[in-house]
A = this chain, B = another copy of it.
Amino acid sequence: MKTVSTQPLNAQAFAPYGQVLECAGDSIAINQGNCQRFHDLAELELDGGETGISLFHAKLRELPYVLDLMERHPLGSQAFVPMSPDGFLILVADDDNGTPVNILAFVSAPNQGINLRKNVWHGVLTPLSGSGMFVVVDRIGDGNNLEEYSLVDPITVLAAQ
């Protein structure tokens, strides 16, 4: 079986797939200096829909993890921020005429979230520890916004050495 090893999530490596939502870079002091605002971190794509806030409660997974299904959302971006300070596994791929290729595996640091660009192939939500709860900000609206792809050859995701 093919394998892929995880790498730490960082903004530069993740840029082709979306934005890392984290307390990094410039911030704005608000509330008389008692709060730092890391402002407008995501590039939301809604394609005629509206923004919605949902909560997801996902089962915890572990490595090695067998990836056999990927999905993408052709009409909008999708942001995930964990509600406990724990890392999660993020699987993304490039597209080759409707087929996910060049699969990458990231593991976030505590207090990092992501915003996936629309139409980026990704795995399902796979928390590795913590509560398994996430805030999700994505597109609400009409139209078919889900495409799935079953991998003929599943891939085993291994912890970084």
**A binding-site residues for B, Cβ under 8 Å:** 21-23, 27, 30-32, 34-42, 44, 50-59, 69, 79, 81-85, 111, 113, 115, 124-125, 131, 133, 135-137, 140
| Contact A84–B81 (Cβ < 8 Å) | no
Known A52-B42, A53-B79; contact A59-B35, beta-carbon cutoff 8 A: yes
- Copy number in the complex reads 2
Q: How far apart are the CA atoms of A21 and B40 in the complex, in Å? A: 20
Q: Contacts of A69 on B, CB cut-off 8 Å?
A: 32
Q: Contacts of A39 on B, CB cut-off 8 Å?
A: 52, 54
Q: Contacts of A57 on B, CB cut-off 8 Å?
A: 23, 27, 35-36, 38
| Contact B51–A35 (Cβ < 8 Å) | no
| Contact A37–B54 (Cβ < 8 Å) | yes
Show 23 residue pairs from A and B whose CB-CB distance is below 8 angstroms, ordered by the A residue: A21-B135, A22-B55, A23-B133, A30-B124, A34-B58, A35-B56, A35-B57, A35-B58, A37-B54, A39-B54, A40-B53, A40-B140, A41-B52, A41-B54, A44-B50, A44-B51, A81-B81, A81-B83, A81-B135, A83-B83, A83-B84, A83-B111, A85-B133
